[in-house]
Amino acid sequence: MRISAACISAALALLVAPPAPASGYPDHGKALASLSPASDYSDLLRTRPRAISIMRTRAQGFVPSAELHDYARSVLMRELAGVSLPSSFQPDVHVLAAPEFSALCTPDGTVIVTIGLLEQLENEDELAFVLGHEVSHAILRHHDSDWLARSQYYAVVNAAAVDSVAQQASGAIGAANAANVARGLDVMQHLYKLSANVLAPQMTRGQEDQADAFGFDLMVRAGYDPEAALSVMDKLAAQEAEAARAAASAKAAERQNGGASSVGSALLGGFNNFAASGFSVSALTNKDTMTDLALNVFDAAVDSMSDEAASHHPAKEREDLLSAYVFREYRDLAPRNPKPLPWSPASTSPAKPQLTALLAHYSAAEDAASYVADAGASTPAKASAAVSRATAAPTADHAYTEFVAAEFYDGAHKMALSDAALQKAVKGPEPSWEVYARLINRYVAQNDYTHAQALMGEAVTRFDNSAVLLPKRIAILHGMGNDAEAQSLLPQCQSYDIRELADECRKAAGQA
């Protein structure tokens, strides 16, 4: 009996025992105290042009604002001031024009934050935690050696899907089928979310913990309010809850439709291993199927996110781990007041007017995009006002704001205004690949290969001959009857070792 009681006690202890400490946090002391950075980051710095090129072809490209860049970079540099790092470590920050709450770091130390993340932050201290966390991944050399290849893979697959949707949307204009345009935009929004949450190369749990601890040390050391880190975790948790709701909704829809489609079923098996999932762009020959696939991919991704915790570290768990670390290492720290963001009412920053307008316009563009994707989200008058606001200075020639304006005008059958918006975007300081692709599609639809080719020439230069462009480059050449040049690009496609890209290129060249 005694043995049984002891066993029961032991089992109970196991049942109520707290989770094992995460390996990413130091057993004792602060993470920063045990930092041993690499002696040289030159090898990673050399990869920066490629990493930036890959990021530039994502979503709506970067936000072209020197003020925003300088501000975000100043926060990062404030955190790193005095940290012993070799001169070959040269961190930087870029803001991606995507509405999602997302951030990442390229291996060379370029932190990428989305405009959607900036919009949702409450103060500079929260931004400091995000930047500190992300740059820690680079300082600690967390990126796998195939990070660039995986990112490139995603960029290619994502661009192919988005372009297909764009072509569908542009085809829908003639048919006056606004629903298709809306659906296309909706898919694109889903793809952005997908990119941020699932497909983008991820770190392991231990690495995330390490970056949490180290990033936290950096922000506190720079004088920021430690509780801001918890607040960021709350926001992440809210994102995860939203993804879980989306997954539940997708599952319910699937059941209603009598089960998953074959593509969806294949993907549901484990989307985190996306490279081995059999997802093949080349298998899709019709635009509707591509759109369906994109939706299926999204659904499967959120499904795997909510069900599969192996590669995903829930924010609530991270929050608990971070809390334990704060309690252990920073308990005696006096409360601090957070620093206002330069676009908040309390700011006295000289950049406040410019940055306030910038974020307000991007926010307006997101509101307009929501209306385009779902007419029930707003009213035409409100959406029109949002477009007007979004496309005024200082964002009059920004790719994101003008692209949304073009979509809005498409839906309203105002093609001249739509074209003008795209032209303004493509002549702006940071046109996105999507803007180029949309305009090129329109030229091709009108058999205007001369303009299509000229625009593609610009794009090739702007995007550093990115792999993402290759299928469309080849398609234009093939359409112009210049098959020899089209064929000459096929080896380039194959050189990336991405099956889907090679298939798309062959298809664009008119090969089976």
Closest distance between other proteins and the C-beta of residue 436, in Å? Answer: 23
Closest distance between other proteins and the C-beta of residue 486, in Å? Answer: 37
Distances in Å between the Cα of 224 and the Cα atoms of 69, 117, 208, 374 are 20, 18, 20, 40
Could you say whether residue 373 binds other proteins (CB under 8 A)?
yes
Of 238, 253, 309, 454, which lies in the binding site for other proteins, with binding defined by CB under 8 A?
A: 238
> Are 207 and 92 within 8 A, CB to CB?
no
Using alpha carbons only, what angle is made at residue 349 by residues 347 and 351, rounded to the nearest 5 degrees?
120
Structure tokens at 215: 């990033």
Nearest Cα neighbor of 384 from 409, 420, 359 is 409
Could you say whether residue 485 binds other proteins (CB under 8 A)?
no
Of 19, 82, 258, 335, which lies in the binding site for other proteins, with binding defined by CB under 8 A?
A: 335
Of 389, 424, 462, 478, which lies in the binding site for other proteins, with binding defined by CB under 8 A?
A: 389
Q: Which residue has the tokens 């936290």?
A: 216
The DSSP annotation for 257-296 comes to TTS--HHHHHHHT-GGGGGGTT--GGG--SHHHHHHHHHH
Of 168, 349, 370, 395, which lies in the binding site for other proteins, with binding defined by CB under 8 A?
A: 370
Could you say whether residue 179 binds other proteins (CB under 8 A)?
no
Structure tokens at 115: 């405009």
Burial class (CB in 10 A: 0-12, 13-18, 19+), 10: exposed
Window 294-333: contact mask with other proteins (x via CB under 8 A)? --------------------------x-xxx-xx---x--
Of 40, 144, 242, 497, which lies in the binding site for other proteins, with binding defined by CB under 8 A?
A: 242
Could you say whether residue 356 binds other proteins (CB under 8 A)?
yes
Residue 388 one-letter amino acid: S
Structure tokens at 164: 């297909």
> Are 181 and 173 within 8 A, CB to CB?
yes
Window 86-105: contact mask with other proteins (x via CB under 8 A)? -------------xxx----
Of 67, 292, 307, 374, which lies in the binding site for other proteins, with binding defined by CB under 8 A?
A: 374
Of 88, 90, 120, 289, which lies in the binding site for other proteins, with binding defined by CB under 8 A?
A: 120
**Applying CB under 8 A, which part among 111-119, 132-140, 401-409, 420-428 lies near other proteins?**
111-119
Could you say whether residue 449 binds other proteins (CB under 8 A)?
no
Distances in Å between the Cα of 195 and the Cα atoms of 54, 297, 302, 390, 444 are 13, 11, 11, 25, 28
User: Could you list the residues that contact other proteins (CB under 8 A)?
Assistant: 4, 7-8, 10-12, 15-16, 99-101, 116, 118-123, 189, 192-193, 225-228, 230-231, 234-235, 238-239, 242, 320, 322-324, 326-327, 331, 334-338, 341, 343-345, 356-357, 359-360, 363-364, 366-367, 369-370, 373-374, 377-378, 382, 386, 389
